[in-house]
């Protein structure tokens, strides 16, 4: 996958020379559109690679979207004005930490549409053409889905770009988010038909779209659309494909050697190379200033409420969260969390730390005293690692299958007990949505599956956020918050986008 990373870097540098100004971010800058492009197989490959280039942007899977997940009851942040506004639902969409989410997602979708429109004109063998088109349909759908449930509802969806005419930039919002979900599902079905299975990819293509990833995002799309039958259908396809299984040990999921394990479905492919691409999220979650050893950013911490959700015998708790007195390996030394030299800083809002992303920081320093760049970026201002950041894994598919079954009144004991067995918990019978919600929270804590929108779509957000959140020592860190389900179930569209849209966009009601 390092080869793909280098290709992406060179393409980003190339596109900087052909970027053009645009009034509206529905037509973003940076994608190839010049008259002398889209002629050769090399152009086609470069165009597809450009789709992936923005995955590692700080405002994507570095931090951007996770600032919005900070609204949940699982997350505390170090003091930061925008984070406080998000936590209390008093944002206007212009916040610097999150305003670029809309723009970058539409930029990626625009690049996908360029591929879909132009690849058929280029002389390519059928297999290569199909795979490239599948990658474009898949990535467009992922970006579309993430924006749709963040900003769209039954009153108005989000704009669906004109795929055939790139000059038609002032596209109105879809009638409702159901239109978006239908479009997304259609793209993912096309993608799945065109893409190979992951095990059919060569190692230098790991990180590209594949068939079960398309099915997985179909499950997620249908879950948001409350289409339980289709959610079950595509989850079942993944399960019966035989391509995936849970790793025996939960802790192993978050190890570099298992970036491409049988539990992997989709992730941000990462690198410790300062000239390459990757998610900085592991470093973002590391203790602020990393106890003077490495430049951790200390942005996101688990709350006491999350910690207390786990049964004390649940193996996932110690693999997910560091609490005071826990020992862990840190750059080759066995140290004790929140004691002695490794006491947490005052900016640690909760007194805990996520452990899921700590493995890259466990390896000894080099003989010269520097970090081992096989695992960690030497540049702490870009604290990426070689640990891929999961966006969708097999355990999530199993839990989505269980949820869809329960919503249809079916039995989901098999799926829920698959998750519980690995966690070292006793099997249960007659599992309910209460059980599902707890397992989903404990299994996926601190990941990009979005606890906040789980609560929103379940109708639980108002009650959950009416309770205060606490520090490890029991003190209140966030008082009860006022979540209005008629307004706060979506986020406000960045006002700059509305201002330049010539009336095509309007703000979500109540914001």
222 assigned to some structural domain: no
266 assigned to some structural domain: no
Query: 160 pLDDT exceeds 50?
Result: yes
pLDDT in tens, 145-157: 999 999 999 999 9
Contact 360, 282 (CB under 8 A): yes
Contact 70, 87 (CB under 8 A): yes
Band (367; pLDDT cuts 50, 70, 90)? confident
Looking at the fold, whether 32 and 162 belong to one and the same domain comes out as: yes
**Residue 461 structure tokens:** 């957000």
Average pLDDT over residues 324-334: 98
pLDDT in tens, 252-275: 999 999 999 999 999 999 999 987
Q: Which of 387, 416, 450 is the last residue of a domain?
A: 387
Q: What is the pLDDT of residue 32?
A: 57
Looking at the fold, whether 185 and 308 belong to one and the same domain comes out as: no
CATH number of 79's domain:
1.25.40.390
41 assigned to some structural domain: yes
264 assigned to some structural domain: no
> Token match 């894994």: residue?
393
Q: What is the pLDDT of residue 34?
A: 59
- Residues contacting 184, CB < 8 A, separation 6+: 141, 144, 145, 148, 217, 221
303 assigned to some structural domain: yes
- Residues contacting 165, CB < 8 A, separation 6+: none
pLDDT in tens, 201-240: 999 999 999 999 999 999 999 999 999 999 999 999 999 9
Looking at the fold, whether 289 and 155 belong to one and the same domain comes out as: no
320 assigned to some structural domain: yes
Looking at the fold, whether 27 and 122 belong to one and the same domain comes out as: yes
86 assigned to some structural domain: yes
Q: What is the pLDDT of residue 369?
A: 87
Average pLDDT over residues 383-395: 98
Query: 389 pLDDT exceeds 90?
Result: yes
Q: Which of 334, 353, 387 is the last residue of a domain?
A: 387
pLDDT in tens, 10-61: 444 344 333 333 333 333 344 455 568 999 999 999 999 999 999 989 999 9
> How many domains is the chain partitioned into structurally?
2
3 state DSSP class of 15: helix
21 assigned to some structural domain: yes
For 88, list phi and psi in degrees, rounded to 5.
-105, 10
Please state, in angstroms and rounded to a whole number, the distance separating the CA atoms of residues 386 and 257: 9
Looking at the fold, whether 173 and 69 belong to one and the same domain comes out as: yes
The 3-state secondary structure of 30-95 reads CCCCCCCCCCCHHHHHHHHHHHHHHHHCHHHHHCHHHHHHCCCCCEEECCCHHHHHHHCCCCCCCC
pLDDT: which is higher, 5 or 411? 411
Boundaries of domain holding 310: 281-387
The 3-state secondary structure of 116-161 reads HHHHHHCCCCHHHHHHHHHHHHHHHHHHHHHHHHHHCCCCCCCECC
Closest by CA position to 194, among listed 231, 139, 251, 271? 139
Closest by CA position to 390, among listed 265, 476, 511, 230? 265
**Mean pLDDT (the chain, rounded):** 94
pLDDT in tens, 277-298: 789 999 999 999 999 999 999 9
pLDDT: which is higher, 342 or 56? 342
Please state, in angstroms and rounded to a whole number, the distance separating the CA atoms of residues 379 and 364: 17
pLDDT in tens, 453-472: 999 999 999 999 999 999 99
Q: Which of 367, 387, 407 is the last residue of a domain?
A: 387
User: How does strand 333-336 pair with strand 353-354?
Assistant: unpaired
């Amino acid at each position: 996958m390092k080869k793909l990373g280098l290709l992406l870097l060179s393409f980003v540098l190339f596109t900087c020379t052909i970027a053009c100004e645009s009034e509206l971010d529905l037509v973003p800058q940076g994608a190839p559109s010049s008259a002398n492009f889209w002629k050769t197989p090399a152009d086609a490959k470069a165009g597809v690679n450009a789709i992936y280039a923005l995955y590692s942007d700080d405002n994507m899977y570095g931090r951007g979207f996770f600032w919005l997940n900070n609204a949940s009851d699982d997350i505390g942040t170090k003091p930061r004005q925008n984070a406080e506004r998000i936590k209390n639902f008093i944002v206007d969409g212009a916040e610097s930490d999150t305003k670029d989410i809309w723009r970058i997602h539409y930029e990626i979708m625009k690049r996908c549409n360029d591929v879909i429109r132009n690849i058929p004109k280029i002389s390519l063998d059928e297999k290569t053409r199909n795979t490239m088109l599948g990658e474009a349909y898949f990535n467009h759908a992922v970006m579309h889905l993430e924006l749709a449930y963040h900003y769209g509802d039954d009153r108005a969806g989000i704009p669906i770009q004109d795929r055939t005419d790139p000059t038609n930039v002032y596209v109105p919002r879809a009638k409702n988010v159901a239109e978006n979900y239908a479009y997304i599902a259609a793209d993912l079905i096309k993608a799945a038909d065109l893409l190979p299975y992951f095990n059919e990819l060569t190692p230098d293509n790991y990180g590209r779209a594949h068939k079960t990833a398309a099915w997985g995002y179909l499950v997620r799309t249908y879950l948001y659309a409350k289409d339980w039958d289709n959610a079950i259908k595509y989850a079942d396809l993944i399960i019966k494909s035989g391509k995936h299984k849970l790793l025996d040990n939960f802790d192993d999921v978050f190890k570099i050697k298992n970036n491409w394990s049988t539990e992997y479905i989709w992730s941000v492919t990462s690198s410790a190379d300062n000239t390459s691409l990757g998610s900085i999220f592991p470093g973002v979650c590391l203790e602020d200033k990393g106890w003077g050893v490495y430049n951790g950013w200390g942005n996101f911490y688990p709350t006491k409420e999350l910690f207390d959700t786990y049964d004390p015998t649940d193996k996932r708790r110690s693999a997910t969260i560091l609490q005071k007195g826990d020992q862990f390996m840190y750059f080759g030394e066995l140290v004790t969390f929140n004691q002695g030299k490794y006491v947490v800083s005052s900016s640690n809002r909760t007194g805990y730390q996520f452990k899921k992303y700590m493995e890259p920081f466990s390896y000894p320093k080099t003989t010269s005293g520097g970090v081992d760049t096989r695992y960690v970026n030497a540049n702490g201002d870009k604290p990426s690692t070689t640990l891929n950041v999961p966006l969708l894994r097999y355990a999530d598919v199993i839990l989505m299958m269980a949820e869809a079954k329960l919503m249809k009144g079916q039995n989901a004991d098999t799926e829920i007990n698959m998750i519980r067995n690995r966690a070292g918990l006793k099997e249960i019978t007659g599992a309910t949505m209460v059980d599902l919600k707890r397992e989903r929270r404990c299994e996926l804590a601190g990941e990009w599956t979005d606890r906040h929108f789980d609560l929103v779509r379940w109708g639980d957000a108002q009650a959950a956020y009416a309770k205060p959140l606490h520090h490890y020592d029991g003190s209140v860190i966030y008082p009860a918050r006022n979540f209005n389900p008629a307004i706060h179930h979506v986020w406000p569209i960045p006002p700059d986008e509305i201002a330049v849209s010539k009336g095509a966009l309007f703000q979500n009601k109540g914001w």
